[in-house]
Amino acid sequence: MEAVKVESYSLYQTFRHNIPEKDLSVIEKKQVESDVNELGYDEKNAFLRLILEHARVADGYESSSGSLPYNGEDTDDGLAFELGNLPRGLRWILLRFLKVCKSQVETEDC
């Protein structure tokens, strides 16, 4: 896997505030797992960068380590992460991001 240079990512800063103390509901978790499969290339790249930025900010992750945070895997289909391995706060950030992506797609269809 090629190291990804991780710098401060402003999209992460947009979504990281006011994270609820509770975890996502079962329905919200299923929504994240379903919606991520509908993302285009650019959105998937942003999704990955949100994960990497959270790992950098919250856990001191360095992309030069050669491994992915949160037990992520480099598969033939791209990078894969199990939602259950991601921290609660990151799950909320990703849900917020996916809701914005979904609302933009619905708006474009009008």
Q: CA nearest 79: which of 89, 88, 87, 69?
A: 69
* Predicted local distance difference test score (pLDDT) of residue 107: 67
pLDDT beyond 90 at 35: yes
* Predicted local distance difference test score (pLDDT) of residue 10: 87
Q: What is the DSSP letter of 11?
A: H
Distance CA 52, CA 23 (A): 20
> Phi/psi of residue 109, each to 5°?
-75, -15
Domain boundaries, the chain: 22-108
Sorting pLDDT into bands at 50, 70 and 90, what band is 9? confident
Region 7-22 average pLDDT: 86
* Predicted local distance difference test score (pLDDT) of residue 1: 46
- Please say whether the beta carbons of 16 and 93 come within 8 A: yes
pLDDT beyond 60 at 6: no
Burial class (CB in 10 A: 0-12, 13-18, 19+), 85: exposed
Q: In 3-state terms, what secondary structure has residue 75?
A: strand
CATH class of the domain at 22-108: mainly alpha
